[in-house]
Structure 1
Amino acid sequence: MRNISDIIEQYLKNILHESPEGTVEIQRNDLADHFSCVPSQINYVISTRFTLEKGYLVESKRGGGGYIRIQRIELPQHSALHAHLNQTIGSGIDQSTAEGLIYQLEEAGFLTRREACLMRAAVSRECLAVKLPLRDEIRSKMMKAMLVSLLNK
């Protein structure tokens, strides 16, 4: 059985998918009431599952008429994707940014779940047991090589 965080995440993703603008604006307390949870649970889901690395822009306004706006950031089309990846990855990339990019590519359908799992394993700090900054440089080169190979299929 899925936990409440998974359910809230899926609910928000469904709303985003149905939105023609790719944006959803919610009231934190209303959403907490809808799911019978505390508002901090909503904050947790948004701050951990809707990050910039995962392809989301989150904006919030506190106060009486406050809201949380989540916007899906679309990846460039296939032709511009290589330039975007080179810019994002650069000459070095840390593990959390790499994992966020892999997540974003999987969500956009550029990678299968299996490919994403293999990539996450390959770029993990456990697999790349060398000191920084060399680890981030190796991770960058591995990411670029894997993505060029997978995205040119």
Structure 2
Amino acid sequence: MAQILDFLLERQISPQWRGMLTALAAEFEAQIGRDELRQLMHRVGCRFAAAHPLPACGSTDELAQALNLYWHEMDWGYVELADEPDALRIVHYCAPLRAFGGTALGWTPAFLEGVYQTWLSALGAQGLSVAQTSEYSENSAIEFRLGRHPV
């Protein structure tokens, strides 16, 4: 099943960008450390979210609908949300982060972390932070949590 999913995700990446994004990521990795790349992608995500604000949402279901509308329009996969006692669990599926190459999966998810941080802060999650809690998995999922995280 993982091979089928890999094939479909690879087809999602436009051929006109594939080579350029892989080369860009390789140059970034040669010049910038992983922590700095994560910070850069987080800032890029914040900038993206600020340019694409979410509408007001009155529930977790409404929030999931608003998020999925954006991701669907951009062909950036989809998200599932779950309220937990001490956090909001965010699982993002099928983000085209593989376009940057396999080694970039260590730092490109920070883009989504920045997007979710900015969107959720704007919706009132002041004092809470979004943290990536899983690596990009073979089923194309990346998990984040909104909550109180140690600094």
TM-score (structure 1 length as normaliser): 0.31
**Which of the pair is proportionally richer in strand?**
2
TM-score (structure 2 length as normaliser): 0.31
Q: Which has the higher contact order (CA 8 A, sep 6+)?
A: 2
